[in-house]
Amino acid sequence: MKVAKVGAEEFEEEVLRSELPVLVDFYAEWCPPCFVIAKTLRELAEEYEGRVKFVKVDIDENRELAREYEVFSVPTLAFFSRGELVDGVVGAVSKEVLRRKLDNLLNGRR
């Protein structure tokens, strides 16, 4: 499964109004750790298909979104449920850490 790229125009519909929980990958093309975690996110998108939506937002193309969600370092992964930011993590963390956060997101825990 592909992790869809969204911009400011699609963010409200794809993230804030999503029926599914959403993991947003705030990234930049010039960021080596962003490329490292991209493969992990694609694998997790397959694993959680139909249960969690995965999207990515280029911070250089969407500076207002990055500012609104206080993205000061990339990659920043933001977890949304019912339009609310409920969790986040900065950096290229392990698949196990992300899986635990996704499971918590699905179970309504933080």
- Set 3, 15, 34, 102: catalytic member: 34
Q: Between these two residues, 53 and 108, which has the higher pLDDT value? A: 53
The pLDDT-based confidence of 110 (bands split at 50, 70, 90) is low
With H, G, I as helix, E, B as strand and everything else as coil, classify residue 27: strand
Question: Is the predicted pLDDT of residue 1 greater than 90, yes or no?
Answer: no
Cβ(80)–Cβ(26) below 8 Å = no
Instruction: Write down the catalytic residue from 3, 24, 31, 78.
Output: 31
* 25-67 tens-digit pLDDT: 999 999 999 999 999 999 999 999 999 999 999 999 999 999 9
DSSP-derived secondary structure for 62-105: -HHHHHHTT--SSSEEEEEETTEEEEEEES---HHHHHHHHHHH
Supply the CATH classification number for the domain 4-106.
3.40.30.10
SS3 8: helix
Active site residue 31: yes
pTM of the model: 0.95
Q: State yes or no: is 108 an active-site residue.
A: no
CA–CA separation, 75 and 84 (whole Å): 20
